Chain A
């Protein structure tokens, strides 16, 4: 293992977002606050049907999780995309870094960014809400696996995209619908039967629900089922990243 090389790549990927804090940390916090203001006044003190939780409190963990996932995705995808446009990924290929080390470094940096965003958001939102940490392990487990999955999707998306248009396409037609339809803004119990079933095939649904469960102590999914689904999704994403990077998929002629 080239640990020092892996560490260097990790710190490079982390410095990349730390150097532009306004874009990468302050902006997502601002977006989340705006969502909350809007919903606070639109929904008032209404409760989520069947859950006995104020809609506003219900929303917060979902928004935090969504921000984590989007930031994890952005970190890896933009880095690989810029790397491609600048012909910079050759430095990673020339260095004695295995696909495993590259994957590890990229995903660790994505998780780091997601965690920083999550902490900042929670600190900013804390004064406006009554929620508290009920199950820390659930919050950590779903927060981290969700970031790994999205960081991994960002890596794959970055490799797949030839242009920024491709990337926008991926974002708008796959990532956004999956996150929006995964229960950030509603409980699945509010949905028609068919949609409820469909949601059980969306791994993001388990992630957001599990993460929220850690704060609210109520959820829509069976926790043991969720852990299995999420673990499998995480492992598959990591394996896919490792395999595709090793093959130089869409990177090497």
Chain B
């Protein structure tokens, strides 16, 4: 498989001593629609900003379409578009001019047809001549997306492109990205809307505290990693003890108030270990008020992985 991006042992230590990335390895297949997930402060933006050349890396290597990102900056930058997490805009110009300038800075004569199409697709046409200062927060974010696409990059990285964008526009924005992806653009994005990531992305990586927890195809993550869990509800609140932790370790137990959740795994023939989990739990905790099986979605996987800091 050829990779759009290969990140190797990337670390970042900020001047205040904060280690934001602790040797992250990440491979983004060419043509994939890749979700980079992680809780606040996980290091997603640090990683992206290093790729965008707005933050210095501390150590590590990155290859972009086969070339060394740190030594062949110009070649790589021409093929990369980045939407930063923090809103930024040029208060002196209107969106259409901003896009022309951005295109020019990439060494590309502005392609007005493409610029108009971008404005149209990101629903900025009627604001194209206003000063950027007059745009609302969501409009500014869409302008950032347009800016990242203006030089037609092969790889697009979006750091929370849908934050602050309303539901309907978000749907259309995702649709637009889907389309770009279908036309061969590799897309890497971060988002806290996990359902959307689950629905749209074909690859997923989860990082927490500067470490990669998992990176695989969305389907295999949802499938292999306990696609369902056993939920036992009790009358009184339960507390996690060492005994519970040890005896139920195979099921990665989680306790929330009066419910205990256990992960069910499938064996080779596709059968899950429901009985095993149920018997062990009842023996340890007593009969439950109610018992149910919940299929895990990305959100559950995400929470379980990031709570325990376990590697899959």
Binding site for B on A (CB under 8 A): 2-5, 7-9, 11-12, 15-16, 19, 82, 86-88, 90-98, 248, 252-253
- A8:B105 contact, CB within 8 angstroms: yes
Q: Which one of A2, A11, A82, A248 contacts B107 once the chains associate, using CB atoms below 8 Å?
A: A2
A7→B147 CA distance, assembly (Å): 18
- A91:B86 contact, CB within 8 angstroms: no
Which residues of B are found within 8 Å of A88, using beta-carbon distances? Answer: 88-90
- A12:B53 contact, CB within 8 angstroms: no
The answer to whether the Cβ of B176 comes within 8 Å of any Cβ in the partner chain is no
- A96:B78 contact, CB within 8 angstroms: yes
Which residues of A are found within 8 Å of B193, using beta-carbon distances? Answer: none
- A95:B15 contact, CB within 8 angstroms: no
A88→B98 CA distance, assembly (Å): 11
- B74:A12 contact, CB within 8 angstroms: no
- B105:A9 contact, CB within 8 angstroms: yes
19 A-B interface contacts by CB (under 8 A): A2-B107, A3-B107, A5-B107, A7-B104, A9-B104, A11-B104, A12-B93, A15-B92, A86-B91, A87-B86, A87-B88, A90-B52, A90-B84, A94-B54, A94-B82, A96-B73, A96-B78, A96-B106, A96-B107
Which residues of B are found within 8 Å of A16, using beta-carbon distances? Answer: 92
Which residues of B are found within 8 Å of A253, using beta-carbon distances? Answer: 14-15, 55-56
The answer to whether the Cβ of B244 comes within 8 Å of any Cβ in the partner chain is no
Q: Which one of B101, B106, B147 contacts A12 once the chains associate, using CB atoms below 8 Å?
A: B101
A94→B77 CA distance, assembly (Å): 7
Given A90-B84, A93-B54, residue A98 in contact with residue B90 (CB < 8 A):
no
The answer to whether the Cβ of B102 comes within 8 Å of any Cβ in the partner chain is yes
A8→B54 CA distance, assembly (Å): 20
Q: Which one of B77, B87, B89, B91 contacts A95 once the chains associate, using CB atoms below 8 Å?
A: B77
In the assembled complex, how far is the CB of residue A80 from the closest CB belonging to chain B, in whole angstroms? 13
Q: How many A-B residue pairs have CB under 8 A?
A: 74
Of the listed residues A3, A9, A87, A98, the one surrounded by the most CB atoms of chain B closer than 10 A to its CB is A87
A92→B89 CA distance, assembly (Å): 12
- B87:A87 contact, CB within 8 angstroms: yes
A93→B107 CA distance, assembly (Å): 14
The answer to whether the Cβ of B109 comes within 8 Å of any Cβ in the partner chain is yes
- B54:A95 contact, CB within 8 angstroms: no
We find that the number of chain B residues with CB closer than 8 angstroms to chain A is 30
- A95:B102 contact, CB within 8 angstroms: yes
A5→B151 CA distance, assembly (Å): 12
Given A96-B74, A253-B56, residue A91 in contact with residue B107 (CB < 8 A):
no
A14→B150 CA distance, assembly (Å): 22
Q: Which one of A8, A93, A248, A252 contacts B104 once the chains associate, using CB atoms below 8 Å?
A: A8
A92→B82 CA distance, assembly (Å): 12
Which residues of A are found within 8 Å of B87, using beta-carbon distances? Answer: 87
A92→B87 CA distance, assembly (Å): 15
A88→B101 CA distance, assembly (Å): 13
In the assembled complex, how far is the CB of residue A158 from the closest CB belonging to chain B, in whole angstroms? 15
Which residues of B are found within 8 Å of A95, using beta-carbon distances? Answer: 77, 102, 105-106
- B147:A91 contact, CB within 8 angstroms: yes
Which residues of B are found within 8 Å of A82, using beta-carbon distances? Answer: 91
Which residues of A are found within 8 Å of B88, using beta-carbon distances? Answer: 86-88, 90-91
- B54:A90 contact, CB within 8 angstroms: yes
Given A91-B147, A94-B53, A98-B74, residue A4 in contact with residue B107 (CB < 8 A):
yes
In the assembled complex, how far is the CB of residue B133 from the closest CB belonging to chain A, in whole angstroms? 10
Of the listed residues A90, A95, A252, the one surrounded by the most CB atoms of chain B closer than 10 A to its CB is A95
- B106:A5 contact, CB within 8 angstroms: yes
12 extra A-B contacts, CB within 8 A, seeds A91-B102, A95-B102: A7-B104, A88-B89, A90-B52, A91-B88, A91-B90, A93-B53, A94-B52, A95-B77, A95-B105, A96-B107, A98-B74, A253-B56
A19→B15 CA distance, assembly (Å): 39
In the assembled complex, how far is the CB of residue B104 from the closest CB belonging to chain A, in whole angstroms? 3
Given A2-B74, A98-B74, A252-B54, residue A92 in contact with residue B105 (CB < 8 A):
yes
Of the listed residues A19, A91, A97, the one surrounded by the most CB atoms of chain B closer than 10 A to its CB is A91
* A82 nearest CB neighbor, chain B only: B91
* B74 nearest CB neighbor, chain A only: A96
A150→B147 CA distance, assembly (Å): 32
In the assembled complex, how far is the CB of residue A11 from the closest CB belonging to chain B, in whole angstroms? 8
User: Which residues of B (61-86) have their CB < 8 Å from a CB of A?
Assistant: 73-74, 77-78, 82, 84, 86
Which residues of A are found within 8 Å of B102, using beta-carbon distances? Answer: 91, 95
- A86:B90 contact, CB within 8 angstroms: yes
* B110 nearest CB neighbor, chain A only: A8
The 4 A-B pairs of least Cβ separation, nearest first, read A8-B104, A96-B77, A87-B88, A95-B105
Which residues of A are found within 8 Å of B82, using beta-carbon distances? Answer: 94
A88→B89 CA distance, assembly (Å): 6
- B101:A8 contact, CB within 8 angstroms: yes
* B105 nearest CB neighbor, chain A only: A95
Q: Which one of A87, A91, A252 contacts B105 once the chains associate, using CB atoms below 8 Å?
A: A91
* A19 nearest CB neighbor, chain B only: B92
A94→B82 CA distance, assembly (Å): 8
